[in-house]
Amino acid sequence: MNRYYLAVDIGASSGRHILGRMENGKMKLREIYRFSNGMKMVDGTLCWNLNGLFEEIKAGMRECKKLGINPESMGIDTWAVDFVLLDKQGQVLGKTAGYRDRRTEGMDLKVYERISREELFRRTGIQKQIFNTVYQLMAVKEKQPDILSKAESFLMVPDYLNFLLTGVKKQEYTNATTTQLVNPSERTWDRELIETLGYPQKLFGGLSMPGTVVGRLSEDVRKETGLDCRVVLPATHDTGSAVAAVPSNRGHVLYISSGTWSLMGTELKDADCREVSMEANFTNEGGYEYRYRFLKNIMGLWMIQSVRKEWKESGEDYSFGEICERASRETISSIVDCNDSRFLAPESMCGAVKAYCEESGQQVPETKWEMAAVIYNSLADCYRICCREIQALTGVRYDCIHIVGGGANADYLNRLTAKATGKTVYAGPTEATAIGNLAVQMIEGKEFESLEEARDSIFRSFEIKTYEPSEKVC
C-alpha cells in the first residue's frame, strides 16, 4: 500500500501542494494544488497575507482529501527572515511586514550602536542583508516598542503556519539561523547577543531540528480539511529544503538553488565565520543535520520576474521559456551587478537596468529581449564571480555545479553559466524545494535511513540535464 507525504512549498510569489510517495526505489510526485502569493501595501507597509496563506493551505489539503488520500505527514517550507509576534492569546501583533518593506532602512546603524558588524558576523556567520530579522526586530523596537513589550511569542512564518495547523509552537532551526541571532557553534540562540540588542529573551525558546514532529492537526483543522495526519518539520527555510535535494553525495558539491533568489554555495561541516568571508558577503545558514550552507545570496530570477510583470501590465504576456529563448538570440554584452540594492524593489526593473547601464557607460538595452539578455548575462557573470570566491575561501576546486529549483528550466542561463564558470552544469530537479521537504518527511517516516540514501534516490528519480562549458551558447 502506497504511503503518501504532503509538501506545502510556499515561495514569495506562489505556493503549491505536492504529494510524494516511493515506488520501486524512486520518488514519485503529484502536484495537487497551486496558489499565488505576494506582498501588498497595507497603510504604507508591504505585508504578507498570512491568514490568506493559511486558507490556501487548507484548500490544498481539501484537494488531497478529494483524492481519497490521507498522508502520513505534511510539512511546510517558506522563505526566510520574516516573522510574527504573538500576544498571550496567540493573536498577531501589528502588521505582518515582509522583507522588501522599507522599515529596516537605517536599522543596521542602530544595531551597530550595540555591536559591530564584524562582531555580529563572528558570532552568527550570517551575511548582512538589510532585511535580516535582526534588523527587522530593531525596526519594531525603535518604531513600535509597545508591540515588542506586549509580545509573548516569536515565530518565523512557517512556524506560525504550523501553529495554526496544530496549536503547537515550535521554532525550527534552519529558518532561525537566518535571523542572524543564532550562534553556529552552540547551534542555538545567542542569548548574550539578544540581550545586547535589547530583545526580550522570553521570545526565544528551544530550537527544533528538521524531522521533528510538531504534532497532529488540530480538531478544527481536521474538520475543515477532512485530513488527519502529523505535521513534521522539514528544513522550513525553502533553501534548506532545496539543498537537501541536491542529487549528489560527493564530498565537495557546488550548487545554485535558482528561483526568485539565486543561492550559490556549498555544504560545510563547520561554519566559516572569518572576516574574509564576511567581506566577501558570504553566509552560513543552518541545514539538515547541522550542515552549514556556506553561500551567497544573488538577486536571481526576481529580475526576470519583475520585467515580465512590467510587460504583462502593459498588455504583453510572455512565458519564461519564450523570454529565455528570445534572449538567447541577442548579442548585447552589457552587464549589471545583480546584487546592487537598486534591484531589490525598484518601481521599474526595466528602468533600473537601463539606468545602471547608462551610468556605467555600457550599451543600454532598447528592446525587451535585449533587456532579458542583459539580465541573464549578468546572472551568469555573478555566478562566475561567486564560484571564484567560494574556491578561494574553501581551498577546493569544484568541477561541476548543480542547479536545482525552477531556474534549472532556464536553458539559456544554464548554458551561459557553464560557459562563464568553465564548469559542467547539472540542472535539476526543478521541484527541489518540495522534494527536499518530502525527503526529510520520508526519513522521519522510515522510507530512507539517511539523507545520503534520499539523495541517491533523488538522482535516480528525476531528470538531470547536463551542460558542458564547451557547448555553443546560442
Q: Hey, which bits of 57-212 come out as E strands? A: 73-77, 83-86, 153-156, 171-172, 182-183, 188-189, 207-208
As a whole number of angstroms, the distance between CA 397 and CA 421 comes to 12
**What DSSP letter does each residue of 388-452 carry, written as one string?**
HHHHHHH----SEEEEESGGGG-HHHHHHHHHHHTSEEEE--TTHHHHHHHHHHHHHTTS-SSHH
**What DSSP letter does each residue of 183-234 carry, written as one string?**
ETTTTEE-HHHHHHHT--GGG---EE-TT-EEEEPPHHHHHHH----EEE--
Three cell numbers, residue 263: 543561492
Closest CA to 412 of 301, 318, 326: 326
Residue where the block lists cell 555580529: 120
Q: Hey, which bits of 39-166 come out as E strands? A: 40-42, 45-47, 73-77, 83-86, 153-156
What is the set of active-site residues?
A: 238
Buried b (16+ CB within 10 A) or exposed e, 177-199: bbbbbbbbeeebbbeebbeebeb
As a whole number of angstroms, the distance between CA 167 and CA 80 comes to 21
Residue where the block lists cell 546560442: 474
As a whole number of angstroms, the distance between CA 402 and CA 435 comes to 15
